[in-house]
Structure 1
């Protein structure tokens, strides 16, 4: 059987035994990819050495930690398949994961991105994510995070953006959007890319039967670690500045400022107030660069302001 025109890209950085586990599960796919490309971000733990044990896996040693965004972009430069699937090294894909994503892509040729059902590894029945949501204040989060699976009505449908831990993109749409923003380094780069795809008139679908089991932030100190908190909060500001279109930007700006102030206050109760304040200050210093990108992004915008507004989460107190 001919292999489908899809390359799976895995960005690795000191993932220990997790990468080998990820590749083991990937080798069991009912519909194997044409190629697996492991981009190693200067690991020093020898985790990338396992790549040679797996057929069809190409290892690229980048020599330093370029970040999730830049490493993926280097992979995109050499991918020539119709589809690109991203998979984190701490995510284990169920056997029909890729088959079901590709089936959804075949059924919806007008859709650019397809998100997976992410379950928490080691926490049976708990959801790690149902795709990315974007709130009108500029907050973003993984839908369903921490909820019990049996309490969720899992149906295929449109989501704001797909989580970069396990996603399928059409390569042409991905390249037209410019790939990931390398200034982000990591965290929220998938939300930003999903937003730019949406501005370009593209859509993203959630595929609930394409399942991965995700450790989550396994190599970056956890979701509440300093690295994740800093980059996430800095990059949320840049996403807002770059992507929120036209009149919406100015109407919602006071709420975005209030949201950022509230984040500093909230994280102060966890002993991370100064860290979040530094992230916001660094984001402000980067606004001129983000604003220059905004001009290009908004000039290419196809979606109406109304379409973007309807895609945002508008609950007053969104929790999950």
Structure 2
């Protein structure tokens, strides 16, 4: 968190900046550390606060909690940042200007990950639900969306869309936002070039060997089923997605990752049991 905030200071360029850190740890020691960091940076931003979540809210509800602390109309854009992100160059003012010129509602930013520079967007293969960074081979029908590690959303669009969909705990929040925005006539823009970030990639969801852990595997499967059930145009792809995820579970089981394989199956089952429950209250 220290590195993220330190990199954010030059990007503000005297722009009014309101920073809210959400603590999902449910750990008093971690909360104390974040409050100490808040004190260290109290003069670096217009406002900085720490919100302790009563339970681990996940990505969507956690970001919604953060954004509720900054009322409607107080800022031009909402900037959602993962803790494994560092600002490399550019300014928030420049990003606002670029969004305004293109009349865009939300966008990704240029991203460096594992030494490779991309536009920060990703694409989902609709037949399998596999996601790939832009520039990688994708087969069949697809849907592009801005990556959630650094997501810029205009204030108007954020409140019109009621923030992120809290039906998701992890994964698919950004593509859900993209599809809801498209339905509302708020298409996202080309990636912003006025700002660039470095992203560790999976730093918040993967194990030390680079694989998804049991919890992440469960939510990856659950979120995909919820996503496909939520949009009528995705319903025809549900059978192929279930088949692809089942094959993936079988491969994990064969390789000896039996807990991960069972998490895949349990996650899909939870997605089909879902009846609109949310982890928080929205914006």
- Superposed, 1:273-284 pairs within 5 Å as 273-284=261-272
Q: Which moved more, 1:100-109 or 1:21-30?
A: 100-109
**CA drift at 1:269:** 4.0
Q: 2:66 aligns with which of 68, 72, 75?
A: 75
Q: How many residues align?
A: 253
Q: Greater RCO between the two (CA within 8 Å, min separation 6)? A: 2
- Superposed, 1:224-303 pairs within 5 Å as 224-245=212-233, 249-250=235-236, 252-270=237-255, 271=257, 272-286=260-274, 288-289=275-276
- Superposed, 1:154-173 pairs within 5 Å as 160-173=144-157
Do the aligned residues in 1 keep the contact of 2:75 with 2:155 (CA within 8 Å)? Answer: yes
Partner of 1:86: 80
Q: 1:218 aligns with which of 203, 212, 225?
A: 203
1:118 aligned onto 2:101: no
Do the aligned residues in 2 keep the contact of 1:162 with 1:190 (CA within 8 Å)? Answer: yes
Deviations 1:82-103 (A, max 9, x none): 2101111110012315344223
Q: How has the CA–CA distance of structure 1 residues 226 and 117 changed in structure 2, closer, same or farther, with 3 Å as cutoff?
A: farther
1:199 aligned onto 2:183: yes
* Cα distance in 1 for residues equivalent to 2:96 and 2:218: 35
Do the aligned residues in 2 keep the contact of 1:132 with 1:162 (CA within 8 Å)? Answer: yes
Q: How has the CA–CA distance of structure 1 residues 217 and 254 changed in structure 2, closer, same or farther, with 3 Å as cutoff?
A: closer
* Cα distance in 2 for residues equivalent to 1:128 and 1:203: 20
Q: How has the CA–CA distance of structure 1 residues 139 and 282 changed in structure 2, closer, same or farther, with 3 Å as cutoff?
A: same
Partner of 2:139: none
Q: Which runs of 5+ in 1 are unaligned?
A: 1-18, 148-158, 291-320
Q: Taking structure 1 as the reference length, what is the TM-score of the superposition? A: 0.70
**CA drift at 1:129:** 6.8
Q: Taking structure 2 as the reference length, what is the TM-score of the superposition? A: 0.79
Q: How has the CA–CA distance of structure 1 residues 283 and 129 changed in structure 2, closer, same or farther, with 3 Å as cutoff?
A: farther
Q: Which runs of 5+ in 2 are unaligned?
A: 137-142, 278-283
Partner of 2:129: 139
Do the aligned residues in 2 keep the contact of 1:138 with 1:236 (CA within 8 Å)? Answer: no
Q: 2:2 aligns with which of 9, 16, 20?
A: 20
